[in-house]
Amino acid sequence: MADPAGDRKMQLGYVQILSAAFIWGTYGLFVRALDYSPEYILFHRFLFGFFGLLIFVSIKDGLASIKPALVHWKWMLIPALLTGLSWLAYTYSLNLTTVANAAFLIYTAPVFTVLFAPFMLKEKLELRSIVALIVSLLGTASIMGYTSFFSPGASLLGDIIALLGGITYGFLSLFIKRAPREILGLPSNIMLSGCITLALLPFVIVSPEQFSWNGILILLTLGLFQQSLGATLFHLGLQKVKAQHAGILTYIEPLAATLMAAIFLYEGLTWGSIIGGVLIMVGGIMVVLRRESKKVVEEPSPRHY
């Protein structure tokens, strides 16, 4: 029998994950507009994101509302470490290897999410997840122009750093998913953002950047948009959907990045970008759409996500 309430909840989770990935796809626009080090950019992203979340919670429910969740702060230590490492690896790899290499290797993350979800979360590895993963991975390769992977501009060190970023990014969803369900959302994002801010603080103190009101405004927007809003949507989505599904849906991020670059940076769309975008959307549709026949013949099983 079908479970309409459960299906609506799952569909909302899909929308939240897709929205988060689309928001994260604007990251390149912010980086292009800033002339700061990766540590400086990331520190202010999480700093402004952290305070933005605190202000929102204090207005909405009062800061006391998150106190019960703070006892679970240890669950956010590993996700905070993985988040910081993945974003640092991505930003550094862009300076060492080609953009195509860095982007493609970072977006191998869902491969690791799908492969390790059965072991870490006891999720059943679905055939449609594997097929959707392959389709989306091919779509990303098409967008990024993967034929340039062995080009003279590629650096082995940069490629290794980008791949490590992809691995850490892939495990991020798994560790967030393992946290107590009641803290996922605003509380988990507040704890994660606070931990990363403290971890990056020494780097900013040691190597201060030139102050600019324009730069601070862009960093403020980055923190509120990408971290306060985008990351919270991602954490909320993980309450409702499988980690392997969430990982595949994040492939909308390179598609969004390509579209944003075309619109705001006037980077031309290629046939590879168009074909890749279609493949990514097909992969996402395969995850989101459920087989009606299966819902009719099978009794609903207990949901673990």
The pLDDT tens digits along the chain (305 residues) read 557 777 889 999 999 999 999 999 888 888 888 888 888 999 999 999 999 999 999 999 998 889 889 899 999 999 999 999 998 898 888 777 766 677 778 888 888 999 899 999 999 888 889 999 999 888 888 876 755 555 555 577 888 888 899 899 999 999 999 999 889 999 999 999 999 999 999 988 887 788 789 999 999 999 999 999 999 999 999 999 999 999 999 988 888 887 888 888 777 777 877 888 888 889 888 888 764 434 444 444 444 33
Contact in structure between 226 and 49 (CB atoms under 8 Å):
yes
Which pLDDT value is given to residue 304?
39
In this prediction, residue 146 carries a pLDDT of: 53
Position 303 in a domain:
no
Q: What is the pLDDT of residue 286?
A: 87
Residue 302 lies in a domain: no
What is the rounded distance in angstroms from the CA atom of residue 109 to the CA atom of residue 171?
8
**Which pTM does this prediction carry?**
0.85
CA distances from 133 to 174, 194, 278, 280, 281 (A): 16, 32, 14, 9, 11
Do residues 174 and 120 make contact, with C-beta atoms less than 8 angstroms apart?
A: yes
What pLDDT is stored for residue 27 in this prediction?
A: 87
Cα 249 to Cα 287: distance, rounded to the nearest angstrom: 8
String of DSSP letters for 155-199: -HHHHHHHHHHHHHHHHHHHHHHHS-GGGTTHHHHHHHHHHHHHH
Q: Residue 300 has what pLDDT?
A: 44
> Could you tell me which of 199, 262, 206, 253 has the C-alpha nearest to residue 230?
253
* Within a domain: 38: yes
Q: What angle do CA 249, 84, 154 make, to 5 degrees?
A: 75
Per the domain annotation, does 221 fall within a domain? yes
Cα–Cα distance for residue pair 37/64, rounded to 1 Å: 36
Whole-angstrom Cα Rg for the chain: 19
Query: Which residue segment(s) compose the domain that 73 sits in?
Result: 4-297
Number of domains in the chain: 1
Decide if 304 is inside a domain.
no
Selection from 108, 113, 90 nearest residue 226 by Cα: 90
Q: Provide the token pair at 45.
A: 């992203």
